[in-house]
């Protein structure tokens, strides 16, 4: 199963997660990361663009997953992570029109579905990058 399929099946809304939690908790399940509940809670403060409508929480959750998967021990020991991060920011801009929460919320948010479209597209982008990087 892909993360985007899990999100499509209602994981984000059914579990009352914020956007960052939905990505990290979902990726933990789908990609068998083995993160503890304590580790998963680290994503809580990143929802809603870190609570101030800054960088999208789904994007920051994705960055956590990418760091976990593609950084050996420290970032400077895995210089490819910078290119992976650059790519995800570019894909958010191309697919969603932005990577900042405020304009994304203005465009995609509804009371009923919250930021479902952003989380779903973010999950699709993360699935794509993980697949591409694992093939390398």
CA dist list (Å): 130 to 21, 52, 66, 116: 18, 28, 8, 21
Gap between the Cα atoms of 96 and 75, Å rounded: 27
pLDDT per residue over 7-55, tens digit each? Answer: 999 999 999 999 999 999 999 999 999 999 999 999 999 999 999 999 9
Model pTM score: 0.96
**Considering its fold, how many domains does the chain have in total?**
1
pLDDT at 97 (0 to 100) = 98
pLDDT at 42 (0 to 100) = 95
**110, β-bridge pairs:** 114
pLDDT of 135 above 80: yes
Containing structural domain, residue 59: 3-135
pLDDT per residue over 67-112, tens digit each? Answer: 999 998 888 888 899 999 999 999 999 999 999 999 999 999 999 9
């Amino acid at each position: 199963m892909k993360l985007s399929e899990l999100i499509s099946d209602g994981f984000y809304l059914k579990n009352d997660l914020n956007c960052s939690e939905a990505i990290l908790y979902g990726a933990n399940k789908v990609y068998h990361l083995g993160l503890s509940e304590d580790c998963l809670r680290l994503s809580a403060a990143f929802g809603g663009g870190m609570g101030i409508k800054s960088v999208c929480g789904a994007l920051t959750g994705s960055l956590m997953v990418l760091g976990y998967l593609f950084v050996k021990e420290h970032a400077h020991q895995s210089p490819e992570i910078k290119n992976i991060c650059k790519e995800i920011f570019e894909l958010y801009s191309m697919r969603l029109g932005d990577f900042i929460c405020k304009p994304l919320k203005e465009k995609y948010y509804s009371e009923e579905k919250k930021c479902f479209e952003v989380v779903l597209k973010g999950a699709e982008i993360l699935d794509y990058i993980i697949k591409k990087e694992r093939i390398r």
